[in-house]
Amino acid sequence: MKAGALMELQENLKTLNLSAMARNMEGFVRQARETGIGYDEFIFNLTVSELQARSESRLNRRIREAKFPLIKPLETFDLAAVPELDLRLFRELTGESYIKEHRNVIFLGKSGAGKTHMATALGLEACKNNFRTRFVTCYGLVNELIEARQERTLQRLIQRYVRYDLLILDELGYVPFSREGSELLFQVLAERHEKGSVMITTNLGFADWTQIFGDQVMTGALLDRLTHRAHIINCPWDSYRLKQSLKEKRKHAGKEK
């Protein structure tokens, strides 16, 4: 093929939104000549490269849209450090079924136990499974909702939060909400009920949730919805970093003897 025609072919592929094929074409042509593969295999390889590039960019988009504060994949979570963790359940949550069935997940434990890390890791797995995922702190979400109400865009924002397949609400319990804040958060969770999964991390036992939401009746209604079809993951162990530094100290003390 002449250089001009080759360029036109490349343009055609781009017009057809086959940008990876356009990008890879020349290399694949060269390779096909060298190896002598047939036309069918050649076009097959090109389509595979296009599909791979698309699924990669889709994953990147999912991760970008999820707005994780830090990218902490599953592989970076040390399971040996948390022998009390229900591994069977944790593994199940790396899959699709709980999101497809709109089940919720609540991580309950002390500060530093690794709740945010686990929620992020599971959120990344959800992105890999092509679920629309969003990570936000409770405090951040409440502020967004209050602002949206002031700007009269509340309904639109709530609808956006309802559409995510998995909504991760980090750090429930550190900051109590105003009455308005509680009501707005309640509204989001009520609207999502049985439409999508919610994953919450909290340091508070359920009995103490009224302190955060203020109103006892509303807290009851909220807990009723959230805990219905929910996996509760207890993380009663001490802070990971604390355990690590104690281990270090013990190691040094051992050396000094």
DSSP string, 207-242: GGHHHHH--HHHHHHHHHHHHTTEEEEEE-SPPHHH
Range 103-122, binding Mg ion (CB under 5 A): 116
Residue 81 contact partner, candidates ligand ADP, Mg ion, none, CB within 5 to 8 A by sort of partner = ligand ADP
Structure-block tokens of residue 93: 């949550």
Q: Residue 116 or 182: which CB sits closer to ligand ADP?
A: 116
Which H helix or E strand runs over 184? Answer: helix 179-192
CB of 113 to ligand ADP, least distance (A): 4
Near ligand ADP by CB under 6 A: residue from 21, 25, 46, 72: 72
Instruction: Report in angstroms how near the CB of residue 174 gets to Mg ion at its nearest.
Output: 9
x-marked contacts with ligand ADP along 114-153 as a string, rule CB under 6 A: xxxx------------------------------------
Nearer to ligand ADP by C-beta: 114 or 196?
114
Return the number of the residue (115 or 192) whose C-beta is nearest ligand ADP. 115
Residue 167 and residue 185 in contact, taking contact as beta carbons nearer than 8 Å = no
Q: Hey, what are 200's tokens?
A: 């919450």
Token pair of 23, please? 């990008």
Ramachandran angles phi, psi of 31, nearest 5°: -60, -40
Q: How far is the CB of 78 from ligand ADP (least distance, A)?
A: 3
In the complex, minimum distance from the CB of residue 141 to Mg ion, in angstroms, rounded to a whole number: 15
Spatial separation of the C-alpha atoms in residues 151 and 2, rounded to whole Å: 59
Residue nearest to ligand ADP (CB): 114
Q: Quick one: how many helices (H) and strands (E) in the chain?
A: 12, 5
**Nearer of residues 128 and 243 to ligand ADP, judged by Cβ:** 243
The amino acid at 223? L
Interacting residues with Mg ion (CB under 5 A): 116
